[in-house]
Amino acid sequence: MSGQTVTLELPKALWEWAERTAIVTQRSVEKVLVDSLYATIPPPLDDVPDEFREELALLEAKSDEDLWAITRLCMPPKILRQYDNLLEKNRTGTLTAQEKKKLEQRRKDAERIMLMRARSFVLLQWRGYSLPTVDEMEKHWTPELVRGRGNFPQQVEASRKKDRVKW
């Protein structure tokens, strides 16, 4: 394993847990501790295309409210229709050279939005938020939320409390 060497003083209970886990899983104590760190922090951006890496790294400094707003990003309907039309023309092999360039730009736009939303969800979960389920997202994904005028986490939590009362 290559990387930065760090010296830590671990509490006895944590060290004993790491030793037991290392024995049971047939790994080194170092590997157990590194794997534990990886499991508790947002993943590094090493596998993200270079063109998106800097923008995604900047999300770590955003407020919780800003991250929730980013989770609601979507392509404007007009652009989405254009993208769908370009995809269909690509499928049928009828794209012009100019349309191929436009399709590539729309693909990058869609990838950027998807990566920004995904990273925002990861950071919010790391900050201690419970993420909404797909059903909750569909139920609460109102036009007001898409335009950033609603409070998604509060609406989901209110719905969860209401659902708990029903039980």
Specify the pLDDT at position 152.
46
Do 34 and 98 have their domain in common? no
In tens, the pLDDT along 108-150 reads: 999 999 999 999 999 998 888 888 887 777 776 654 444 444 4
Domain of residue 17: give its range.
10-40
Task: Map 28-62 to HEC letters.
Answer: CHHHHHHHHHHHHCCCCCCCCCHHHHHHHHHHHHC
Measured CA angle at 132 (ends 44, 35), to 5 deg: 30
In tens, the pLDDT along 73-102 reads: 888 888 889 999 999 999 999 999 999 999
Rounded CA separation 113/103 (Å): 15
Do 56 and 125 have their domain in common? yes
Q: Is residue 4 part of a domain?
A: no
In tens, the pLDDT along 37-71 reads: 888 888 889 889 999 999 999 999 999 989 988 98
Average confidence (pLDDT) over 103-112: 92
> What is the distance of C-alpha 142 from the center of its chain?
20
Q: Is residue 26 part of a domain?
A: yes
Distance of CA 126 to CAs 24, 40, 121, 143, Å?
Answer: 28, 7, 9, 27
Specify the pLDDT at position 12.
95
Please name the helix (run of DSSP H) or strand (run of DSSP E) that holds residue 19, with its range, or none.
helix 12-25
pTM value is: 0.68
